[in-house]
Amino acid sequence: MTRPLALALLLSGCATTQSGGSTGAAPAVTRAAKDYYPLAVGNRWRYDVKILGATQALDVALTKTDQGAFVDSMGNRLQADAYGVRDERRYLLREPIAAGTSWTNVVSVSSVERYQILSVGETCEVAAGRFEDCVAVESRNRESESRELVARFTFARGIGLIRVATELRDGQKQIPQSNLELVAYGLQGPGGSRFGGSLPPPDVGATPTAPR
């Protein structure tokens, strides 16, 4: 992996759907990948990141757009298209947003990431709050015959990435590597700004990114 914070984005997730009225079937919930990773200049997230026992704060901000992509404070590029939400090398979420959806990202000649949506529509809770519609995604990256890096991501509808947990599976061993959890956010939108937790004045940090 090429960035010191690469491990930080490997984590875990959940989500829930409310029923309709007391009579008749519950209305169908339409889900799109872009709903779970809101992209707008000014959007900010703060995470607590724990890597091998050490904890640090990670501030993420979308600072500008460039040729259809949203650029974060470290120069990473994110965009939503007809297939899902992606960065420069991989889809982080892929349509359709439904349990069982799977895809593969070939990020280099020696690194292949396999993703699968584990669940949708469940409730999740992190330091930043409780969220009623989350998507849990698992990625696997095999390093050798016996070693595999596994990451679980949780995305909350209208909020973005709220949790990541990574572990190294080495034979029968499962060795925790990192945990990332959302503690605060500030988001732009047609209904105005929304905040959760307590954010410092606007500052730039690094966007968590999956292992390369």
Contact status, residue 197 vs residue 46, Cβ threshold 8 Å: yes
Rg of the chain over CA atoms, in angstroms?
17
Q: Give me the pLDDT at residue 75, please.
A: 83
* Intervals of the chain under pLDDT 70: 1-28, 190-192, 200-212
| % of residues, the chain, pLDDT over 90 | 61
In this prediction the pTM is 0.80
Q: Residue 152's Cα: distance from chain center in Å?
A: 9
pLDDT recorded at residue 57: 94
8-17+35-196 is a CATH 1.20.1440 domain: no
